[in-house]
Each structure stands twice: as structure tokens, then as C-alpha cells.
Amino acid sequence: MADETSTQDAPEEKVPVMQQIIDNPFLLLFLGIALPTVFYTLWGVMEVATIPVAP
């Protein structure tokens, strides 16, 4: 029953930006992976990697 109009069927009312974000699972997936990867993993790994090696 999937029809072509499915992606553009709600233009009658402007959907608020926040709701657009929340209704987009793949955007959420991106955010939920990117944020911790940058702030936790990459930053943390860089800190460990830059510890000078004991002579």
C-alpha cells in the first residue's frame, strides 16, 4: 500500500523543527552515535594516546 505521496503528505501544517528531528529515526541515530563518539571516545582516546611514553 506504500504510495509515492507518503513523503510529502503533511504540508498543510508546518511541522515544527523539533518534531521533525524527533520524527526522524536516522537523524537521531546519527546524533546518538556522533556525539558520544566525539566527546567521549575520540577525545578520551586522544588523551590516552598523547601520554608521553616513559623513557
Partner 1 sequence: MSQFRQCPDTGLFFHKPAESLMKANAVAGAVCLLIGGILGLLVILTRWPAVHLLPADAFYMVLTAHGITCLIFWIIFFEMAILYFAGSTLLRSRLATPRWAWAGFVLMIVGVISTLTAIFQGGSSVMMTSYVPMPAAPHFYLGLILFAVGALIGCFVFLGTLVVAKNEKTYEGSIPLVTFGALTACIIAIFTIASGAEILIPTFLWSVGYISHIDAAMYRVIWWALGHSSQQINVSAHVAVWYLIAGVLFGARPMSEKVSRAAYLLYILFLQLASAHHLLTDPGISSDWKIFNTSYAMYLAVLASMIHGLTVPGAIEVAQRNKGLTNGMFEWLRKAPWGNPVFSGMFISLIGFGFLGGISGVVMGTEQISIIIHNTIYVPGHFHATVVVGTTLAWMALTYLLIPVLFRRKMILPGLAKWQPYLFGGGMSIVAIFHMAAGTLGVARRHWDMGFAGNPLGFEYPGTAYLLMGIAGVGGVIAVIGGAAYLLITVGSLLFGEKLDASAGILQSFGVPLADSVYSTEKPERLPMAPAEAVEGHGDSGFEAPGTFVLAMVLLVSFVVYYFINWKYLSEVWPLS
Distance of CA 46 to the CA centre of its chain: 22
Rounded CA-CA distance 36/40 in Å is 5
Cβ at position 25, least distance to partner 1 in Å: 5
Q: Which of residues 9-38 bind partner 1 (CB under 8 A)?
A: 18-19, 21-23, 25-26, 28-29, 31-33, 35-37
Q: Contact between 54 and partner 1 (CB under 8 A)? A: no
C-beta separation of 14 from 20 below 8 A: no
Q: Residue 53, Cα to own-chain centre: how many angstroms?
A: 36
Residues near partner 1 (CB under 8 A): 1-2, 6, 18-19, 21-23, 25-26, 28-29, 31-33, 35-37, 39-41, 43-45, 47-49, 51
